[in-house]
Amino acid sequence: MLTDYQLLRIPGPTPIPPSVERAMMKPMIGHRGNETSQMIQTIKPKLKKVFGTAQDVMMITGSGTSGLEAAIVNVVHPGDKVLVVATGVFGNRFTKICEAYQINVEEFAVEYGKALDPEAIRAHVQANPDIKAVFSTYCETSTGVLNPVGELAQAVHAVSEALVIIDGVSCMGGVETKMDEWGLDVVVTGSQKAFMLPAGLNFIAASERAWKVIEANPQKGFYLNLTKYRDNIAKDTTPFTPALSLLFGLEQVLENFEKEGLENVYARHQLMRDMTRAAFKALDLPLFTSDQDGSPTVTSVKPTDFDAEAFRKEIKSSFNLSVAGGQAEMKGQIFRVGHMGYCAPTDVLQYLGAMEIALIKVGKNIKLGAGVAAAQQVYLEGAK
């Protein structure tokens, strides 16, 4: 096997396009100079389009989790009551961050592999009028579920003044987001997934309603104080030293989005999802989510007649192809395939072909080529 050859098909970090790698290799510049301000001016309107908002999108140097923490510490106070809709491990992460700030958390647990039910959340919020905020993942990375966050916001706002705060880390840039139209109050995403960058940047936007709450909050922290980022981004700068190499890359990513067209980016992710799911069905691999709930960025399988971890080890050793395993209570029970960002239908056909060989090697009785053929058929139908 080639020593430097690897295929990364996990739900993040994801492969980086060569054009973005080249952009990140630009010589360093002063972070308070005109060049940086001009770059931020270029970035700002393009980020707004990805978020579907008229609000400025703030850029914070830090992982996606730091963005989730910023959303929490700016919006709610210690002792406030909030509702976390937990459809998996990363929904539960909201709970853990809230507890670290002595926030009164109620967790609305949803069966792993299923999307949230907006009407059930509406009823719960209506029965608990002291809830100040509702938190949910958009794509639950740990299960491959895409939650109907627009419907969630509509349901919550129909009965409550609670803010709706969304973790979009593992899908934004790969699925359509209409923050303003859907009534989302705070939306967070990260750089290392469908944005095709290394980890280290997160992006946050807040609604006018959310800003009123944030401005009235006396305990917003220091580094994660969103009013500092808002005031600085309005002047085409950042309150603290930004990760400039990642901003170089982000500028290129957004240019790539523009060239492809966001509607085509989203259609490509949908096609890759459909190809992958059709292939797994043809190979008799039990999908962990329904077609309706399955995310365009990650697909999960819960095998019944072979060991998920043995399969992951086999495909890694044979092809240096990395797919993700399960987390928390799903550890060892599922495997997850990322198909987002710098990924095309040809990549889907490649990993499916390798997977078929690995499946036979771990004892799964399949017909070679069945999965690839099913994916090819989906591609042909989608390309009409």
Binding-site residues for substrate, please?
Answer: 336
Q: How far apart are CA 311 and CA 59, in angstroms?
A: 38
Cis status, amide bond into 13, omega within 30 of 0: yes
Residues within the annotated binding site?
Answer: 336
Q: Are strands 321-322 and 81-86 parallel, antiparallel or unpaired?
A: unpaired
Q: How far apart are CA 49 and CA 173, in angstroms?
A: 10
Beta bridge partner(s), residue 140: 145
> In terms of Cα–Cα distance, which of 210, 177, 207, 173 is closest to 191?
173
Q: Are strands 335-338 and 324-325 parallel, antiparallel or unpaired?
A: antiparallel
Can you list the positions of beta strands (E) in 207-328? 298-301, 321-322, 324-325
Which structure tokens are listed for 134? 């509702």
Beta bridge partner(s), residue 167: 137, 188
Q: How far apart are CA 149 and CA 179, in angstroms?
A: 10
Q: How far apart are CA 221 and CA 232, in angstroms?
A: 16
Q: Are strands 298-301 and 163-167 parallel, antiparallel or unpaired?
A: unpaired
> In terms of Cα–Cα distance, which of 341, 180, 364, 383 is closest to 283?
364
Which string of b and e fits 124-163 if b means at least 16 CB within 10 Å? bbeeeeebbbbbbbbbbbbbbbbbbbbbbbebbbeebebb
Is residue 67 within 8 Å of 60, Cβ to Cβ?
yes
DSSP string, 120-186: HHHHHHHH-TTEEEEEEESEETTTTEE--HHHHHHHHHHH---EEEEE-TTTBTTB---HHHHT-SE
